[in-house]
Structures are given as structure tokens and as C-alpha cells.
Amino acid sequence: MSPEPQAIAAPVVVAIHVAKGRRLPMRAVERVVAEAGRGLVGDRYHGTRHRHVTVQSASELAEAAERLGSRVEPAGTRRNVTLSHGAVPTRPGTRVRLGATLLEVVRKAAPCRVLDDEIAPGAARALHDRAGTVLRVLEGGDIAVGDRWEVLDGGA
């Protein structure tokens, strides 16, 4: 009798970072409030039209680090939420649950050249297609380290 396949655990939040302003250092927090239609309270993009939350995956950061030959810290990418593993959907309109919030994919997050200065030369290239996703907050609530990530429709 062959063993039953093990279910892969759903991704969870392993880090949350916010910055009060552009180019200001990212600050690690255990919990953040996401407001519907506004974004993360205390983050530089709070109140913008569509760029409410950025989400990346630790497994994709590990791939980028391997390509770069240098460690890529979650805060170094300037993304808000880092998931434990898996791919982050990039198709616009895809909805996801993150803790108590409902989010919708806006677009892929493009790595900027500033990362070459912040992380290491070539970081932007290594993060191409691994830099996460920009989402808008449809239903607000708290997001905390340990919260589960669930793709509700579609993906990729």
C-alpha cells in the first residue's frame, strides 16, 4: 500500500513591513490595519487609489537570491507582506483572503533599480518575475504575522 500524499500547507504571513514615506526605511510590524479602499494604515501608499498592499513570497525571494548570489531580505524589496511559500497570483482581478481582509490583484509589482543600491548590483534583474504583486483592499481588517493566505478564484 502506498503512502497517502501529504497536503501542502497554505502559505502564511511570515513578515509585514511598512514605511511612512518614500525612501524611508521599512519597519517590521507584527500586525497592521488594512482599510478598504485606502490600504495599510501607517504605510506610504495609504490613501492611494490602487496600490494598497504589496505581497511577495519567501520562496520566490530565495530563487532571486540564488540567481543574485546574495541574500535578499524581505524588507529590502520594499514589499509589505511576505508569505512563507508559493507563488503570488499576478492576474488582475484575482481575489484572495489574507487574514480578515479581502484583496484583489491589481498588477505585478515591478522591481525598481533602487534595489540594485539597496540589496546588491543585479537585484532588480534577479527579482524580475519574483517581485510580488500589487493588490487593493476590498474588505478591511487586521493582517498579522501567521495569518493564512487563500486564493479564492483563479491565480497565476
Per-residue pLDDT of the chain (156 residues; tens, 9 = 90+): 555 556 678 999 999 999 998 778 899 999 999 999 999 999 999 999 888 999 999 998 888 888 778 887 888 888 999 999 998 999 999 999 999 999 999 999 877 766 766 777 666 676 677 778 999 999 999 999 999 999 997 655
Domain 13-151 belongs to what topology? Answer: M1 Pyruvate Kinase; Domain 3 (2.40.33)
Query: Domains of the chain: which residue ranges?
Result: 13-151
Own/partner pairs, 50-53, CB within 8 angstroms, 24+ separation: 50/106, 50/134, 50/136, 51/106, 51/134, 51/136, 52/103, 52/134, 52/135, 52/136, 52/137, 53/80, 53/81, 53/98, 53/103, 53/134, 53/135, 53/136, 53/137, 53/143
- The pTM for the full model equals 0.88
